[in-house]
Amino acid sequence: MITPSSRLEHLATSVFSDLAAKKSLKLQKGFDMIDLSIGSPDLPPPEFVKECLAKKVKKNDQYGYALSGTEQFKEAVAYYYKNRFNVNLASNEVLQLMGSQDGLAHLALAYLDKGDIVIVPDPGYPIYSASVHIAGGELYPVTLNEENNFKADINIIPEEICKRAKIMIVSHPGNPIPTLVDRHYFEKLIDFGKKHNILIVHDFAYCELLFDQNKPLSILSIPGAKETAIEINSLSKSFNMAGSRIGYIIGKPELLEPLAILKSHIDYGVFHPIQAAATQALTSNYQFLEESTAIYQKRRDVFIHELHKLGWNVQVPQGGMFIWAKIPEGWTSLSFALAAIDEGVIVTPGHAFGDGGEGYVRIALVQSDDRLIEAAQRLKPLITKL
């Protein structure tokens, strides 16, 4: 038998396959399932984005290799960042990606050598850790919990780790934990990166999903950030273009260059019509973003209200598209998630995002208000059982 790479040992996870198998079995038996496990928008992109895409795909000259981002797309990113986050960008400070996951997955390959360390949040989005395993680097997880307000505490990172670390990944609001931070936190993070020569990578994919009048904060809006930080973003969550696979990474050209070189050997760019549609989205009047945020905030309020009525006093998120819910006593993350499937609701067990996620489940706000209310009612036996 020809054996696969040992790198895959760290990537194999039975959690998602177990959930998928149980979900499939329920569906085959005709059960109505409310899937709140996947972090993909259930809403469509703006009408003008769909119209642009439909128009462009009919043109014969749109089907060649894109190779890289068009100048129009890069200028659109700069326009968007100036208008939304007051960040000035030159076109050579924008590198197009096939979605933010593309950038996160390949960044480690572009930067890490054997023995290099990446500091990651625990719990955190799975690709943070997976990319390091693929690249042959080492992980140093920093636990996010209620005691540190779900923010990485750089003061507890040992000096020997700081010396070997090459990258630190943060995300605010993040996945699975949608915590916000202030300028002071980012200032400390930038000082930390400069002091130890560590590349700070801010995953900003959920920047447009902020509630209660909170404003998004780009790390590159902090003076001096470009010396040590880069930011990854996409149109997946902001403009509901998840399947289109288009995003970007921004920062100092010298910091983007390693990833640009690697990607030039891996892919041939994003389909031109998708680039054109994304360009229109980024240079729109952003009314769509305000409307989308209002929808998610209402979903949050409706769902949280129902859960609180049942006695499950989960924390109210300030942004993002997830509820990071501490499960009732007596359950593990997996046992709760499996029991939820029996009730017709699919959630993601917290330990799928790292050891620090045990004791929680992630619930995505990707269904209508009525379906979220129904989901809460279906979960009632699990909340009141113990």
> Would you say residue 350 has pLDDT above 80?
yes
What the chain holds in terms of domains, given with CATH numbers, is 6-44+287-384 (3.90.1150.10), 63-282 (3.40.640.10)
- Asked which of 21-35, 48-62, 79-93 is least confident by mean pLDDT, the reply is 21-35
Enclosing H/E stretch for 103:
helix 100-111
- The mean pLDDT of 352-362, rounded to a whole number, is 96
| Region 163-185 average pLDDT | 97
Ranges of beta strands (E only) in the chain are 34-35, 94-97, 117-122, 138-143, 165-170, 199-203, 229-234, 247-250, 322-326, 345-346, 348-349, 360-364
Averaged confidence pLDDT in the chain: 95
Residue 143 burial (10 A CB sphere; 0-12, 13-18, 19+):
middle
Would you state the pLDDT for residue 193? Answer: 98
- pLDDT tens digit sequence for 237-275: 999 999 999 999 999 999 999 999 999 999 999 999 999
Confidence of residue 38 (pLDDT cuts 50, 70, 90): confident
Average pLDDT over residues 60-73: 95
